[in-house]
Chain A
């Protein structure tokens, strides 16, 4: 089976996302679709899967032109897709999810036993471990991903499109996941893996297509290319790796101390006896796969979440129980991971977004009335200082690129007497230029004596910035490592998968 997409174009709200892209994939290969965030990879594949309609272009399967109206069409042609955000129904069982929308024997009174039998067979053939009777609610992301793939297998898909499949997996899980992909390929299927990680492309793919700004810039067999060429194609210039600089930090008098911090949600424990401390000027990196307590940790320190037990001390004072505003007034700053929901109001302009943080600051108030002029001049200064690209300070922040929005969020936090900054995924979804800028700012900040808690799922980022690294797994601290030239990256990877550091 061979699929050819020719000259695909797509525009969203007037902005061209795909500018005439060619792409082809055939049975028996693992094809990497490489590109930065916003390059159009997912959009291109969503078109192949019938979720979006292309404005222009043709799709042919084995030489015959087809029109794919919706995912059902795609599936009937043998094309299946696993999205980055899993498309599973939480309140149904694994088996019900796998056969969702299918007409099995006995429909509409499907014979569950027969179905479960077949799921077990497939699960053994491809080494995908799933339990058909369990509810999706309560399953780990790894399990959910296996179910998504099983869903496609069950529908006899021949081409598997996987959108950033490794983003939610720990390094050991990635290994076994790649084995599943190889099994799929060896059984004669085609696999498309959407990714922005060049290392993954080198490790797993047979062929690679690189997208940049909605254009196909490179298509090649893996053996005919190399990492250097790929990174150049992907970002348009050569990638320079940030070297980790080993700094000596005086950790004898820590500024922030978490002692046995535990957070329960009902019976579920989100954080379990977490103890860490950060010294002035230190960058403490928190590594871990997404969803292992990072959100709770950040929110506990800034005061959004109540502790079930344990204490948080800041500059020697107990802060748990104190309000968020109180903590911020005492020098805490927070860059949330979910920029659009937790940091800014998209329809409001930069001034208003600045006031979102400053509206209680006496410097911006005149007898309870806001000093708009003052806010405007501050915003203007921040735009200049942080090279924020915007038409004006009165532009709604939604029209800024993600990188410029994030620069603004950082700038707003830095425009105060900061002593501790919680930077949660500060460069998520940003292009390399913006990432570099934000990371330099964080290092600058640390050199000026600010303590930084850097929570990131990007291990590379953690390693290049942190002085010490703690690893979160299922809400527990797997151990704290010095980030010096002795650092064992494989060990960090294993800890992200649940290995506990000995002698701690």
Chain B
């Protein structure tokens, strides 16, 4: 394998790692948005999941317990969001923002209380790499995509399953109906609120998983506000990928690639400020959004609470 091929492989490998949490969260958000529940609290739910996963893994030394704890916290916030937006019919944007700030404050506080005195940054082990037989032998792509840890393979499975769920099953059709015309869904006997709860809770689970991935695959340590806006990038990926899990993965890969390029160039000593690359995902998002003006395919009832008794 020559140097260029190795470089490409390494870049793609890093992109996958960058993309995985974005895709987990993005898939959750897609399901939520398809049902008409906008959740910009993705950032906070990821952060909550990451912190909890880190804590539990630190104290129990169990990846599995860590992941489950991270997902549980995500689930709690997903349920809270549904409670506020679906049952109490409050503003979805405000609820999402509140979750973001609440979790940021809460995690920072507990981090200081628990680790504030430590002189070294606490860290945990990360998941071992398990190359997949055969697939990982594919030149260039094999090592980049199929030589990862188990959680990354879980991501691939989640992408496939949610795609089937959304595109091929009656549940997917029902979810679209609930987000597009909840009244029509209701009169067809579809339990609108239950589906929105499900979607919002699933979103929480996925965000918790995204946070856990960051802990036990990407970083292995925790610092304050470690998600640092990745939740918002995931929201952009959802919009760019038009709520399609596969497309979201590729958009996230592209975003991950810009970060990968940044690290590579930095290590090669190219004098481009890292901030330029930090801008890239947002720049790409803004440009693509500009080009998709007037072609919004948002669900018609996105962000609108459903009230059967409301007279129009």
Contact = CB atoms under 8 A, between A and B. Distances in A.
Interface stretch (B13-21, B72-80, B94-102, B180-188): B180-188
Contact of B177 (A71, A100, A110): A100
Contacts of A107: 170
A71 B170 contact: no
Interface in B289-307: 297, 299-300
A386 interface: no
Interface string A63-102: 0000000111001000001010101111110001101111
Contact of A83 (B170, B173, B174, B187): B187
A100 B186 contact: no
A399 to B, nearest CB: 15
A96 B176 CA distance: 11
Contact of B187 (A71, A102, A108, A110): A71
A92 B309 CA distance: 25
B188 A71 contact: yes
Contacts of B171: 108
A151 B168 CA distance: 21
A71 B181 contact: no
A52 B173 CA distance: 26
A12 interface: yes
A100 B183 contact: no
A100 B180 contact: no
Contact of A89 (B168, B176, B308): B176
A109 B300 contact: no
Looking at B171, B174, B188, which has the most chain A CB atoms within 10 Å of its CB?
Answer: B188
A51 interface: yes
Contacts of A81: 187
Interface string B185-204: 11111100000000000000
Contacts of B308: 51
Interface in B210-232: none
Contacts, number: 69
Given A51-B308, A89-B176, A89-B177, A100 B169 contact: no
B311 A100 contact: no
Nearest to A87: B184
Nearest to A96: B173
A104 B312 CA distance: 33
Contacts of B186: 51, 70-71
Say what secondary structure dominates the interface of chain A: loop
A100 B172 CA distance: 11
B187 A51 contact: yes
B176, B177, B185, B312: residue with the most chain A Cβ atoms closer than 10 Å = B177
B176 A87 contact: no
A70 B189 contact: yes
B192 to A, nearest CB: 10
A150 to B, nearest CB: 13
A103 B190 CA distance: 11
B170 A92 contact: no
B176 A91 contact: yes
Interface in A86-133: 87-92, 96-97, 99-104, 107-110
B173 A91 contact: no
A81 B187 CA distance: 9
Contacts of A151: 188
Contact of A91 (B169, B180, B187, B190): B180
Contacts of B168: 109
B185 A101 contact: yes
B185 A89 contact: yes
A96 B174 CA distance: 9
Interface in B53-68: none
A151 B173 CA distance: 16
Contact of B169 (A85, A87, A108): A108
Interface in B264-311: 297, 299-300, 308-309, 311
Contacts of B183: 87
Contact of A100 (B190, B299, B309): B190
Q: In the complex, which of the residues A52, A70, A101, A102 has the most CB atoms of chain B within 10 Å of its own CB atom?
A: A101
Interface in B147-181: 168-171, 173-174, 176-177, 180-181
Contacts of B181: 87-90
Contacts of B173: 92, 96, 100
A101 B190 CA distance: 5
Nearest to B312: A85
Contacts of A102: 188
A12 B188 CA distance: 24
A90 B187 CA distance: 15
A100 B300 contact: no
A70 B173 CA distance: 21
A91 B172 CA distance: 12
Contacts of A87: 181, 183-184, 187-188
Contacts of B300: 90
Contacts of B297: 91
Given A107-B170, A108-B171, A89 B180 contact: yes
A12 B180 contact: no
Nearest to A266: B294
B170 A90 contact: no
A12 B311 contact: yes
Interface string B4-43: 0000000000000000000000000000000000000000
B189 A101 contact: yes
Contacts of B311: 12
Contacts of B309: 52
Nearest to A72: B189
A96 B177 CA distance: 10
Most buried by B among A92, A102, A103: A92
A337 to B, nearest CB: 16
A109 B187 contact: no
A18 to B, nearest CB: 14
A101 B186 CA distance: 9
Contacts of B188: 71, 87, 100-102, 151
A22 B181 CA distance: 32
The 6 closest A-B pairs by CB, nearest first: A72-B189, A101-B188, A87-B184, A100-B188, A101-B189, A108-B169
11 contacts: A81-B187, A87-B183, A87-B187, A89-B180, A92-B176, A97-B184, A100-B188, A100-B190, A101-B185, A104-B170, A108-B171
Interface of B: 168-171, 173-174, 176-177, 180-181, 183-190, 297, 299-300, 308-309, 311-312
Given A51-B186, A70-B186, 20 more contacts: A12-B311, A51-B308, A70-B189, A71-B187, A81-B187, A83-B187, A87-B184, A87-B187, A87-B188, A89-B176, A89-B180, A89-B184, A89-B185, A90-B180, A92-B180, A99-B170, A101-B177, A104-B170, A107-B170, A109-B169
Interface of A: 12, 49, 51-52, 70-72, 75, 81, 83, 85, 87-92, 96-97, 99-104, 107-110, 151
